[in-house]
Amino acid sequence: MKPKYQVIIDDIKSNILSGTYSVGEQIPTESALQDSYNVSRQTVRKAILELSNEGFLRSEKGSGTYVSNLYRSRTGGNTMKKTIGVITTYISDYIFPSIIRGIEGRLNEDNYSLLLASTNNDVEQEKKALEMMLSYGVDGLIVEPTKSNLYNPNIAYYLSFKEQDVPFTMINAFYEELEVPFFCLDDVQSSYLATRELIAKGHSQIGIIAKMDDLQGKYRMKGYIKALGEAKLRFHPDQVLSFDTASKPDLSTNLEVFLEENRDALTSLVCYNDEVGLEVVHACRKLGISIPDELSIIGQDNSYIAKNANIKLTTLTHPQEQMGRDAADWVIKKLQGKKDLPTNTYYQPVLVEGETVKEIVLE
């Protein structure tokens, strides 16, 4: 459990970094903070002293305590070498090492430092990462949004970056409620091409596994529905298995139930990504469903796990390293004062043929 003075420090810091308290604004009096947190005057003073030492507050004798922005010059802001913050949902798995490698490679070319954080697709961890970046005083920021298909409670922090003229861009997705430049795969097109490939191979009973708390999942669902509509195929809600970050640990169990229930109804599946595609492969092996003879599957993202699995997954490309490099290049050019930079960039996916799709030949 946190010491009481630390709770006060964290709250006041959050209010400053999110812009709830503006620079120069007077914070509540010591007695008001005592009442608010139900603590002693000594605890309040300890918190204020610590925040003053860090440059978040300044006290004026006989007047009160005010918000300061000295913390910015005490951290990254006063060094010759500029620092770019990078916040991704994950760091060490799936396509993220490739994206980070692209960012790092471009930053190194211009002698920029990288400050890295991850959120595990959790908004509370995103808040901590944003506070760290603001406290450090990063010169620019690259963010992969957290649960991008849901309302984000951390929008105020992004507005703080805007107010401080710290350039930032988003990768893989974006918050629709913010006007922000982004670099994304065309996720609608990715799922559209996956579904169209299955249709071209004679499949008409096509299901989808979709992750619905991220914008990528919403758009990949849209592409699937678009392709079905063009082919005049019916959309069957019971042939959709959706999941989110919270329910992901139960995905393998839920997949087995879904596959068993649709054993006679489905001939193919569009998977949210390669990771899910391989989960389907494992579930099919447990259930004795042959891939691709009984079930064809297509992943998305052309990740290293798709390339290194013991079955070559049919999938679609994702720019990965190029996306990271382009996002870093955008931030560097913005800091150099370049004008007319792109506000949004979509990369076009390309089908990568594997061995998990079978053509259906009508008798």
* Cα distance between residue 60 and residue 26, in whole Å: 10
Query: What is the model's pLDDT at position 73?
Result: 67
Lowest mean pLDDT among 26-40, 133-147, 314-328: 26-40
Is there a contact between 142 and 84 (Cβ–Cβ < 8 Å)?
Answer: yes
Is there a contact between 172 and 211 (Cβ–Cβ < 8 Å)?
Answer: no
Q: Is the pLDDT of residue 70 over 90?
A: no
118 beta partners: 88
CB neighbour list of residue 265: distance below 8 Å, 6 or more residues apart: 205, 236, 238, 239
| 121-135 average pLDDT score | 96
Q: What percent of the chain has pLDDT over 90?
A: 78
* Cα distance between residue 357 and residue 363, in whole Å: 19
Lowest mean pLDDT among 30-34, 74-78, 234-238: 74-78
Query: What is the model's pLDDT at position 75?
Result: 52
Lowest mean pLDDT among 51-65, 88-102, 111-125, 206-220: 51-65
